[in-house]
Structure 1
Amino acid sequence: MLEVQNITVQFGANKVLNDISMTFEQGEMIGLVAPNGTGKSTFMNVLMNYVKPTKGKVVFKDGLSYSNKSNEVKIHQFVSMMPDQSDLYNHLSGREHLKMFATMWQSDLKLIDETIEALNMGHYVNKKTGTYSLGMRQRLCFAMQIVTNTEIMMMDEVMNGLDPNNVEIISKILVKKKAEGKIIIIASHLLDNLEKYADRIFLFNKGKLVNTNQVIEGFSQAHIKTIRVKNMEDHTKQQLHELFPNLELQTLTNGMSLIHLPSSEASLLSSFTSFLVERNVVDFAFGKVTLNDLYSMYYHEDRNGDSQLKKNNHINYEE
């Protein structure tokens, strides 16, 4: 268990984190999503005690908190943060790094070879890290955290610089670790991947953590009904409003129009499909609001110049 109690981090007049209270349970994968500079890294650094909060505290199992150095040592036996590529020693091999981390956290050394095999690192892991590509270094950093085998794992942009195949490999390892009961907290800009695997996803707004289900009620549920239409003409939008006045239309900055349906009744879907096809609109798809859509809605202005963040819409798209 990990509980955040009234955490505030303030630099001068700027509240980077503003009175955040939250509980994370074992076996949860948590996603953190926001533009740079909005508090993701600061939040994770507070959880590691790298940044001291202005107010509040972080509480772990058995009521442990960062109240003294002795407690910090105890906490860091079961909490870890994925190292950064700048933390690697170019004169050491990947295997030496893995052995160092496994030894520091007193984990099972068998994890080293298991992790090397799972990440397909065998052909380079015995070479000095100074010879590694960015992708190889990133995989090593991830592997170093995995061999710690801590109960709580935090990762900032774990997928950076990885090709789709390695993203999928790492994702499967994370799912396995979650099944083992670990708390995994990931800050990432790889939204499709995060949406696929995270149990809960939080945005940042004015120093607060905002659950995606607070922005769009039922966002995490599969039964949200939305039609995504690329580059819909203005005159078609006008006709849409006239013929379907109860439907809500949003146009994102990338030109994608989201049409939110009050239900998934076959008659409504059929009528709307006919409406689009009759107007030669063929690039559309039925589904749900994606995390990419939500990010754009929440942090960017739509084509009418209205900031979705300022409007702070809370929309119910459930059937």
Structure 2
Amino acid sequence: MIELQNIQLSFGEKKVLNDISETFQQGEIIGLVAPNGTGKSTLMNVMMNYAAPNSGKVLFKNGLTYSSKANEVKIHQLISMMPDQSDLYNHLSGRDHLKIYCTMWKSDPKLIDTTIEALNMGHYVNKKAGTYSLGMRQRLCFAMQIVANTEIMLMDEVMNGLDPINVEIISGVLMEKKAEGKMIIIASHLLDNLEKYADRIFLFKDGKLIGVDDIVEGFSGSTMTTVRVRNMSDDMKATFQTSYPKLKVQTLVNDMTLLTLDKKDAETLGEMAIHLAELGINDFTFGKVTLNDLYAMYYG
């Protein structure tokens, strides 16, 4: 468990974290989404005590806080942050790196081989890290955190530089760790992927952490309420707004227009599809508001 209590942190005149209070539980994956420079990484650094807040505190299980060096040692047995590629030693092999992390966190050495197999690293893990591609280095960084096997795992852009196959492999491992009761907090720009497995997703705005369901009611649910239409003219938008007064019409920066109903209404959705077809519009799909849509609405 992590409980953030009224976390505030400023750099000069800029308030990066503005009175953030939130509780995260074991066995859930938390997604953090925002443009660069809005506070995602800073919040993780506060959780790790790499950055001290101006006010507020971070609580862990049994009421542990960063009140002393002794407590920090105890907390860092519970929480880890995925290393950055710049933290790798080019003269050491991938297996050497995994052994170091396994030893530092006193985890089960058997995790090394099972993680290598799960991430399909066997063909290069014994080579020096300096010979690795970007994707191979990223998988190694992820593997290092997995073998540390902490209860809480923080990951900043875990999918960076990975091809679609490895994105799916790592997504599968994340789901396995969630099933084991791990808490995983991920900052990511790969929104389609994040939406598939995150239990809760938060956006940053003005230093605050905002849950997606507070922005779009029922966002996390599976209710189909939206027709997505590409390149819809202003006249056609006005026509639909008149025909369906309760309809919410939003056009995003990518020229995608969302026609959203307040609640599930299959009959009205069907009428709208017929109406679009009658107007000669065939480039539309049914669904719900996506995380990419929400990002465009919020930051566009």
- TM-score > 0.5 by shorter chain: yes
Q: 1:7 to 1:262 in 2, by over 3 A?
A: closer
Which runs of 5 or more residues in structure 1 are unaligned? 301-319
The root-mean-square deviation of aligned C-alpha atoms, in Å, is: 0.9
- Residues in 2 aligned to 1:8 and 1:263: alpha-carbon distance in whole angstroms: 37
- Residues in 1 aligned to 2:132 and 2:263: alpha-carbon distance in whole angstroms: 52
- Residues in 1 aligned to 2:132 and 2:44: alpha-carbon distance in whole angstroms: 27
- Residues in 1 aligned to 2:92 and 2:14: alpha-carbon distance in whole angstroms: 41
Q: 1:100 to 1:223 in 2, by over 3 A?
A: same
> Is 2:222 the counterpart of 1:222?
yes
5 Å matches for 1:126-275? 126-275=126-275
- Residues in 2 aligned to 1:263 and 1:203: alpha-carbon distance in whole angstroms: 23
Shift in Å, 1:239 = 1.7
Shift in Å, 1:62 = 1.1
Contact 2:115 2:146 in 1 (8 A): yes
Contact 2:224 2:286 in 1 (8 A): no
Contact 1:218 1:224 in 2 (8 A): no
- Residues in 2 aligned to 1:124 and 1:13: alpha-carbon distance in whole angstroms: 47
- Structure 1 counterpart SS, 2:172: helix
Contact 2:94 2:127 in 1 (8 A): yes
Shift in Å, 1:224 = 4.5
- Residues in 2 aligned to 1:96 and 1:144: alpha-carbon distance in whole angstroms: 10
5 Å matches for 1:1-319? 1-300=1-300
- Structure 2 counterpart SS, 1:217: coil
Cα distance per residue 1:135-178 (max 9 Å; x no partner): 00000000000000000000000000001110000001000101
- Structure 1 counterpart SS, 2:139: helix
Letter in 1 for 2:134: L
Contact 2:17 2:207 in 1 (8 A): yes
Q: 1:99 to 1:258 in 2, by over 3 A?
A: same
Q: TM-score, normalised by structure 1?
A: 0.92
Deviates most, 178-187 or 242-251: 242-251
Letter in 2 for 1:125: V
Cα distance per residue 1:223-279 (max 9 Å; x no partner): 141110111122211221222222110000000000011343343122111110011
Contact 2:142 2:158 in 1 (8 A): yes
Which runs of 5 or more residues in structure 2 are unaligned? none
Letter in 2 for 1:37: G
Shift in Å, 1:121 = 0.2
Q: 1:262 to 1:3 in 2, by over 3 A?
A: closer
- Residues in 1 aligned to 2:11 and 2:94: alpha-carbon distance in whole angstroms: 38
Cα distance per residue 1:58-89 (max 9 Å; x no partner): 11111111111111111101110000000000
Q: TM-score, normalised by structure 2?
A: 0.98
Equivalenced residue count is: 300
Contact 1:82 1:145 in 2 (8 A): yes
